[in-house]
Homo-oligomer: A and B are copies of this chain.
């Protein structure tokens, strides 16, 4: 069922010369399928097809596009065990996670389908003419969101389904009306091809134009670089490392025609544990956080990599409890030997910094490709002075910073880079005593959590997943939830345009019965 080829539009193609395989980290062996990296010809053909498909795809109604997205979800489910087994063999993640992530992926596709089916997401805004206004007549103006053009999506290593081939970026871009070219993640190319086949089948069954979707294999950076530099590509979605995301952002910014790059990158997700909470709930908090730090081998962008407290007996006790809990948890397999290697190296770099104390490091023998979770501590002053300690260690690792007082705590927060999330652990009413700490945290993050853990990103309209750089390259948008469609669209105005030539969304009769703002009033009436 897996051919190892690229989907260049609806066609399987593999005339390239570079091949590679994926790796099963649990068994520590290469998987058997061989993948052919996309050739320059295939890249150009995929972009050409996407550029052509852009026009035809936009003539499809919202309901037709919704049927396409729902068909993708159906086809993904129909891949059944083949998909789940391939996913597990390419990621080392357990079956339960595979199924959960499949459910999330399908849920995202169906949420966008529902958005299109309802139709009001285009933000239709109408100001009708006042021909006799003085000194000049007021024209009729009607605005709605239209798609940017072909979008390139880079699959993420840590979400082979939900943030990859048919993941959030792809679902949002297809919903927006943008053809998508996926630069498949090399660690799970088989999973990628299977999901791509589900998309292509859905496109054919629902009459979508050839080129609305392509899936290109790639083991290095060349395919991605060619795609981002291609003049017909109009936007880029990426989930991954700061180095990778920044490189794409720079490439896109240097083009003759710069294009938007929405990259969701690294984050250490600071957690502030206030003194009373620490005093009253150290045992419970240690248990909760040991779980959040190690869930999915710590391979989540919302992993809590930084715990901040005010130094004292309670914090020392908490560190002890957390250390006890963390070494009690069974280590688990990471996604790939390269990921394990990077984790151990980055962890060691952190540990080697002056002033760092290892509180817990899983010492026993672990299976090959398994991560040894660790907790370290450092004084606030040392953390402030050494920005190397502010870098993400991707994996089950967390650093407890012992601040000397609330002022130092606030200073540390002010000096953090942008983050996806920030969390406050507080006893009732305690939080009200720290308004400046809260304000400082709000200015550094995209989402703030009260008495919880940052892991577990709810997919709903109120979710903001993205934050000040380097959490993401454009904090004005979210990567999760249906609002993420806004990354791939632009507003477009029609002035004095004939009613019969307007898109249905803007016609006087409001044939789609969507909500519109007409002369400042929101309603779904005809004009």
Give A residues with C-beta under 8 Å from B. Answer: 55, 125-127, 136, 138-139, 141-143, 146, 148-149, 249-250, 253-254, 257-260, 417-418, 431-432, 438-439, 442-443, 446-452, 456, 458, 460-464, 466, 468-470, 473-478, 483, 486-487, 489-498, 501, 515, 517, 520, 522
Choose among B127, B446, B475 the residue that contacts A461 (Cβ–Cβ < 8 A). B127
Task: Determine if B141 and A460 form an interchain contact, defined as CB atoms under 8 angstroms apart.
Answer: yes
Report, nearest first, the 5 A-B pairs whose CB atoms are least far apart. A141-B462, A253-B253, A464-B493, A447-B493, A449-B495
Choose among B257, B446, B461, B490 the residue that contacts A490 (Cβ–Cβ < 8 A). B446
CB neighbours (8 Å) of A141 from chain B are 458, 460, 462-463
Tell me the minimal C-beta distance from A311 to chain B in angstroms: 26
**Docked pose: A139 CA to B486 CA in angstroms:** 24
Tell me the minimal C-beta distance from A405 to chain B in angstroms: 20
**Docked pose: A515 CA to B515 CA in angstroms:** 13
CB neighbours (8 Å) of A127 from chain B are 458, 460-463
Task: Determine if B258 and A447 form an interchain contact, defined as CB atoms under 8 angstroms apart.
Answer: no
Task: Determine if A476 and B486 form an interchain contact, defined as CB atoms under 8 angstroms apart.
Answer: yes
CB neighbours (8 Å) of A497 from chain B are 448, 450
Task: Determine if A452 and B418 form an interchain contact, defined as CB atoms under 8 angstroms apart.
Answer: no
Task: Determine if A475 and B450 form an interchain contact, defined as CB atoms under 8 angstroms apart.
Answer: no
**Docked pose: A82 CA to B466 CA in angstroms:** 48
CB neighbours (8 Å) of A493 from chain B are 446-448, 462-464
CB neighbours (8 Å) of A483 from chain B are 125, 491
Tell me the minimal C-beta distance from A486 to chain B in angstroms: 7
- In this complex, the member of A257, A490, A520 whose beta carbon has the largest number of chain B beta carbons within 10 angstroms is A490
Task: Determine if B142 and A462 form an interchain contact, defined as CB atoms under 8 angstroms apart.
Answer: yes
Task: Determine if A446 and B492 form an interchain contact, defined as CB atoms under 8 angstroms apart.
Answer: yes
**29 pairs, CB–CB < 8 Å, chain A vs chain B:** A127-B461, A136-B456, A138-B458, A139-B456, A139-B458, A141-B458, A141-B460, A141-B463, A142-B462, A143-B462, A249-B258, A253-B254, A257-B417, A257-B418, A258-B473, A260-B474, A438-B501, A446-B490, A446-B492, A447-B492, A447-B493, A448-B493, A450-B495, A451-B496, A452-B496, A466-B491, A468-B490, A476-B486, A483-B491
CB neighbours (8 Å) of A487 from chain B are 476
Task: Determine if B249 and A253 form an interchain contact, defined as CB atoms under 8 angstroms apart.
Answer: yes
Tell me the minimal C-beta distance from A418 to chain B in angstroms: 7
Give the nearest-CB partner of A146 in chain B.
B442
**Docked pose: A142 CA to B481 CA in angstroms:** 13
**Docked pose: A55 CA to B443 CA in angstroms:** 9
CB neighbours (8 Å) of A418 from chain B are 257
Task: Determine if B490 and A475 form an interchain contact, defined as CB atoms under 8 angstroms apart.
Answer: yes
Tell me the minimal C-beta distance from A254 to chain B in angstroms: 8
**Docked pose: A501 CA to B432 CA in angstroms:** 8
CB neighbours (8 Å) of A438 from chain B are 501
CB neighbours (8 Å) of A253 from chain B are 249-250, 253-254, 258
CB neighbours (8 Å) of A520 from chain B are 461
Task: Determine if A461 and B143 form an interchain contact, defined as CB atoms under 8 angstroms apart.
Answer: yes
Task: Determine if B464 and A492 form an interchain contact, defined as CB atoms under 8 angstroms apart.
Answer: yes
Task: Determine if B501 and A431 form an interchain contact, defined as CB atoms under 8 angstroms apart.
Answer: yes
Q: Answer whether A498 and B431 are a contact pair too, CB < 8 Å, given A141-B463, A483-B491.
A: yes
Tell me the minimal C-beta distance from A34 to chain B in angstroms: 38
CB neighbours (8 Å) of A470 from chain B are 257
CB neighbours (8 Å) of A450 from chain B are 494-498
**Docked pose: A432 CA to B489 CA in angstroms:** 26
Task: Determine if B461 and A125 form an interchain contact, defined as CB atoms under 8 angstroms apart.
Answer: yes
